[in-house]
Chain A
Amino acid sequence: MNPVEFNLCVKQHQNRVFSFCAHLLGDKELAADVTQDVFIKLWEHKIRLDPDRLIGWLLTVARNSCIDSMRRKKVRRSVKETDDFSLDSLSSDEIGPDRLASNEIFSVRLKRALDTLGEPFKSIVVLREIQDYKYEEISEVLNLPLNTVKVYLHRARKALREALKNELMEATDHDFA
């Protein structure tokens, strides 16, 4: 891959990789660093990949780098840090102000619930529900059997529901108190 082709490749995939990292890490600055490292690895390995499989390779490397990064820096995600992606990036098209406010509260709670998920559940939810990948693609990125991906996604959704129900119950208790 020559530098011109590589430049186009980075431009094409950087947003996807960056978003994935931002969701996993809950920290945009760290996500940008990891994204940069991922593309540098792609250049240094001089890998000739089928364009259809390139994004899968990038996401696999990005996920491993995110896990390393979390281990290294022991990221403690505060509410403030975790809120930024969900509030900034939630589509607000054709939603009224009241609905938007309640959606924002819900998305904050949902993001908090998402952060309670461990790996690979969180990656599966991000890839499937946010980035809209097929089960086969997720299975390839995470190197897991297809059925395991489906089972894990169901467990992750259930865990999200439980976490959100707990949040809602706590919020209701707080309001009454």
Chain B
Amino acid sequence: MTLLENQDHEWLNSRIEAYLDGDLSESDRVRFELLMEAEKTIWEDVNLANQIVATLRNVRDEACPDYVLAGVMSHVRSDLRRSAWAQVQSFFLRLNAAHLKPAFAVVVLFLMVFTSTQIGKPAKESPMAVAQALDDVKWTLAFLSEAGRTTGSTVKSDVIEDQVVGPMSRNFPSKSEN
């Protein structure tokens, strides 16, 4: 049997949370504690409420599984790749945009004119290249001269001596022989 009036019981019941949170005024807190001592069920409720709060506050944060971070970062990397590719695509799309077409045509025209002015124009001479070319010519002429000299002496010894000089000597004896 409760020792309290109904209104006291209701008053207590509605203030359990405020009492636990320390939100009651000093006079209310004193009244609450006096009434609580007289009412066992309220005392049990306060005890249970304390136990609930204490138990919940002992629950620690769970460690998040490693695959969550791995999955998130994998998404970030693929997103970065996608956005880099999108930037390249948008650059080319902008290049193809209508207002850039005339500029592109001017560049092409300039390249065509420049190329045509270069056709048939003699290459610029560099002093090194000229010296090298003259050297090559000298060596070529020297080689040809040597080749001519060798060929001439061979012809003289192999053909002219035997076939021309010999018979002529025989047919026209020298004055000393006469």
Contact in complex: B56, A40 (CB < 8 Å) = no
Q: Can you name the residue of chain A whose Cβ is closest to the Cβ of B14?
A: A154
- Residue from the set B60, B77, B80 with the largest chain A CB neighbour count within 10 Å: B60
Instruction: Flag if B62 contacts A153 (CB, 8 Å).
Output: no
**Residue B99 lies at the interface, judged by CB distance under 8 Å to chain A:** no
Interface centre among B55, B79, B80 (most CB of A within 10 A): B55
> Which of B64-72, B88-96, B109-117 faces chain A?
B64-72
- Is the Cβ of A32 less than 8 Å from the Cβ of B60? no
A60 within 8 Å of B (CB atoms): no
CB of B61 closer than 8 Å to a CB of A: yes
Instruction: Kindly list chain B residues whose C-beta atoms are within 8 Å of the C-beta of A107.
Output: 55, 59
Residues of chain A within 8 A of B79, CB atoms compared? 43-44
Contact of B62 among A15, A91, A103, A132 (CB under 8 A): A15
Q: Return chain B residues, CB-CB under 8 Å to A123.
A: none
User: In the assembly, what is the distance between CA of A130 and CA of B60, in Å?
Assistant: 8
Which of chain B's residues 129-144 have a Cβ closer than 8 Å to chain A? none
A7→B52 contact, CB < 8 A: no
Among B58, B67, B75, which residue has the most Cβ atoms of chain A within 10 A?
A: B58
B53 located at the interface, meaning its Cβ lies under 8 Å from any Cβ of chain A in the complex: yes
| A32-B68, A43-B79 known; A164+B60 contact, CB < 8 A | no
> Most chain-A Cβ atoms within 10 A of its Cβ — which of B52, B59, B61, B80?
B59
Tell me the smallest distance from the CB of B169 to a CB of chain A, in Å.
106
Across the interface, name the chain B residue whose C-beta is closest to A151: B17
Q: Is there an interface contact between B61 and A15, defined as CB atoms closer than 8 Å? A: yes
Q: Which residues of A have CB within 8 Å of B52?
A: 110, 129, 157, 160-161, 164
Q: How far is the CA of A60 from the CA of B73 in the complex (A)?
A: 22
Check B4 for interface membership: any CB of A closer than 8 A. Answer: no
Q: B30-38, B43-51, B160-168: which lies at the A interface?
A: B43-51
Shortest Cβ distance from A35 into B: residue: B68
| A36 adjacent to B48 (CB under 8 Å) | no
Given the complex, which residues of A lie within 8 Å of B69, measured CB to CB?
7, 10-11, 14
Provided the pairs A10-B69, A44-B79 are in contact, do residues A35 and B59 lie with their beta carbons within 8 angstroms? Answer: no
Determine chain B's interface SS by DSSP, over half rule.
helix
Is B103 among interface residues, defined by CB-CB distance under 8 A?
no
Chain B contact residue count (CB 8 A cutoff)? 32
* Given A44-B79, A107-B55, A132-B57: A3 and B73 interface contact (C-beta under 8 Å): yes
A109 → B minimal CB distance (Å): 10
Closest to B67 in A: A32
Q: Tell me if A19 counts as interface (CB < 8 A to partner B).
A: yes
Do the beta carbons of A129 and B76 come within 8 Å of each other?
Answer: no
Q: B: which residues have CB within 8 A of A?
A: 16-18, 20, 45, 48-49, 51-53, 55-65, 67-69, 71-73, 75-77, 79-80
A-B contact pairs, 25 of them (CB 8 A): A7-B73, A15-B64, A17-B64, A18-B61, A18-B65, A19-B61, A28-B65, A32-B67, A35-B68, A36-B68, A36-B71, A39-B72, A43-B75, A43-B76, A44-B79, A85-B59, A90-B55, A129-B52, A130-B56, A131-B61, A154-B17, A157-B52, A160-B52, A161-B48, A161-B49
Residues of A within 8 A of B (CB): 3, 6-7, 10-11, 14-19, 22, 28, 32, 35-36, 39-40, 43-44, 85-86, 88-91, 103, 106-107, 110, 125, 129-132, 153-154, 157-158, 160-161, 164-165
